[in-house]
Amino acid sequence: MAETKYENSPTFKRMLLWANERFPLSHALLFFIMFFCAFVYGKVIMSEGPIALKFEDFFGFFATWAFFLLLRIFDEHKDYEIDCKNYPNRVLQSGLITLNNLKVLGALAILCQVLVSTHFDQGIYFVTKIWLVTFLYSVLMAKEFFIGKWLEKRLVLYAFSHLLIMPFALLWMAQMASPKMLMSTEIWPLLLLAFLSGAAFEITRKTKGPSEEKTGVDSYSKILGAKLSSFVIFLLLLSSLAVQIYVVESLFKAESLIPVLVLNSVFITACFGLYSYIKSPSIKGRKINEALVSLSMLVAYVVLTAVAILDRGVLWL
């Protein structure tokens, strides 16, 4: 068993095993694209001419990665007892690493976010203050807003309260690009996109095949049924598409139809996946939908970034 094979390995190696299981390095690609999109977005709405970039701007990516790592660590603490019952073979639950190991890693993640935020502020100003609000909200999430038992029985409200972290996080990333931006009205479409795409992924992840359902573990497919859950995902993807097209055509004023065609193509592909799942709910169908919804999120951020860069150009400082 894994716990026997690696129990005498160095702590660092065992931490890597946990990361590969619960926070894969492949996630860094999405976090980078998300950060870069928010950063470019912040530049575009607050300045004219080419998008000015410098190497140190990419420190923001490391803070972004550290932030999502911290969310995972919070979840590992919050769900530890439940996961011990349902997933005893996981690296953490099997005892290969401990919650104290994750606390140390979490402290380093917080330090990274503070250092990067104060770097962009050149002190403690708007970036750091928005980070602090985001961090405090994530702490409330970890504590389940001190109404965990009540909230857990209301899965939709639970998801809504937790998904609000995404707009906070994207605002923080965009603020790094323009520390004096505050709450420009033009930032709202990006924040809405972050919420909608995050919600689509979260519901897809918890819309399972019949053989995956576990006693004591809630899912949207268990509460709403496969059809209604899939319809909610469809509405979220459709709403997200509308926001994406608005940003491309109205905010960034793209003249080419190619970005819109790409966004629509990905949306239609995701819809085919949802339709197939409705016809025959299964683990395979859930995994396909997860991949397609992730792809739609990834493509949205890539397209918005590409449209902005092609329109404005980039000026390296």
Question: What pLDDT does 251 receive?
Answer: 81
Tell me what the mean pLDDT of segment 48-73 comes to: 94
Q: Which residue has the higher pLDDT, 63 or 125?
A: 63
Contact between 271 and 204 under an 8 Å Cβ cutoff? The reply is: no
Whether residues 194 and 166 share a domain: the answer is: no
Closest CA to 226 of 246, 204, 247: 204
Do 233 and 139 lie in a common domain?
A: no
In the prediction, which pLDDT does 166 show?
95
Same-domain status, 99 and 36? yes
Domain membership flag for residue 301:
yes
pLDDT given for residue 183 in this prediction: 65
Chain segment 242-259, per-residue pLDDT in tens: 999 999 988 888 778 899
- Of 256, 259, 278, the residue nearest 267 (C-alpha): 259
Q: Which two tokens stand for residue 220?
A: 């949207």
Last residue of a domain, one of 160, 181, 202: 181
pLDDT computed for residue 219 by the predictor: 77
CB neighbours of 18 closer than 8 A, spacing ≥ 6? 91, 92, 96, 97, 102
Residue 4 lies in a domain: no
CATH number, position 189: 1.20.120
Q: What is the pLDDT of residues 258-308, one digit of tens each?
A: 999 999 999 999 999 999 999 988 889 889 999 999 999 999 999 999 999
pLDDT digits (tens, 9 = 90+) for 114-158: 999 999 998 888 999 999 999 999 999 999 898 988 887 787 888
The reply to whether 298 falls in a domain is yes
Across 209-222, average pLDDT: 74
264: which residues sit within 8 A by CB, 6+ positions away?
Answer: 241
Asked if residue 299 and residue 199 are part of one domain, the reply reads: yes
Residue where a domain terminates, one of 181, 207, 239: 181
Domain that holds residue 92: 11-181
- Which of 181, 216, 240 is the endpoint of a domain? 181
Residue 1 lies in a domain: no
Whether 177 and 239 map to the same domain: the answer is no
Phi then psi dihedrals of residue 219, to 5 deg: -150, 160
Helix, strand and coil percent figures for the chain, each rounded to 5: 75, 0, 20
Q: Is the pLDDT of residue 317 over 80?
A: no
pLDDT for residue 4: 59
Count of the separate structural domains present in the chain: 2
Asked whether residue 5 is assigned to any structural domain, the reply reads no
Taking the CB of residue 209, how many other CB atoms lie within 10 A of it?
Answer: 18
On whether both 123 and 191 belong to a single domain, the answer is no
Stretch 158-187: mean pLDDT, rounded?
87
C-alpha to C-alpha distance for 197 and 212, rounded to whole angstroms? 24
What value does the mean pLDDT take over residues 81-104? 91
Q: Using CA atoms, how far apart are residues 245 and 22, in angstroms rounded to an integer?
A: 33
At 68 the pLDDT is 96
Residue 3, pLDDT above cutoff 60: no
Spatial separation of the C-alpha atoms in residues 64 and 109, rounded to whole Å = 10
| Residue 223 placed within a domain | yes
Average model confidence (pLDDT) across the chain: 90
pLDDT digits (tens, 9 = 90+) for 176-185: 998 776 667 8
Q: Give first-to-last CA distance, the chain, whole Å.
A: 52
CA proximity to 59, closest of 30, 36, 42, 40: 36
User: Does 67 lie in the same domain as 150?
Assistant: yes
The enclosing domain of 158 has a CATH number of: 1.10.357.140
Within this chain, do residues 81 and 41 fall inside the same structural domain, yes or no?
yes
Percentage above 70 pLDDT, the chain: 97
How high is the pLDDT of residue 1? 44
- Give the rounded percent of residues in the chain with a pLDDT score beyond 90: 62
Same domain, 253 and 236: yes
